[in-house]
Amino acid sequence: MFIYPDNLKAKATLWLWELRDVAIIGVGFLFSVLAIAQTGILIPLVVTVLYAFLSIRLEGSSILDFLRYAICFLILKQQYYEWGETIE
């Protein structure tokens, strides 16, 4: 079931994910199944399930978006502060 709200201006969603996330999760699961079948390694499956959980969208935002914003604010982008007194 595709949901397209806001007069076709919002991003397309499929259940709880955007279509881009559904594609990434699908490719991740395919790669995970191949990795498990060939080598028995479960790490790609764990990463895919973790991405699927973090990218669930409710009311337009996801945990993954929050983590991206927090990392940019705290680590990647320089914060600039000016300290001083106002002289009257």
pLDDT in tens, the chain (88 residues): 556 665 666 676 677 888 889 999 999 999 999 999 999 999 999 999 999 999 988 887 888 889 989 998 888 887 787 888 777 7
64, 54 in Cβ contact below 8 A? yes
Predicted confidence at residue 45, as pLDDT, reads 95
Full DSSP string of 10-43: SPPEETTEEHHHHHHHHHHHHHHHHHHHHH---H
Predicted confidence at residue 84, as pLDDT, reads 80
34, 28 in Cβ contact below 8 A? no
Predicted confidence at residue 82, as pLDDT, reads 81
| Tokens linked to 41 | 């390694």
Predicted confidence at residue 10, as pLDDT, reads 66
Predicted confidence at residue 4, as pLDDT, reads 60
Predicted confidence at residue 61, as pLDDT, reads 82
14, 1 in Cβ contact below 8 A? yes
Cross-strand pairs, 6:
none
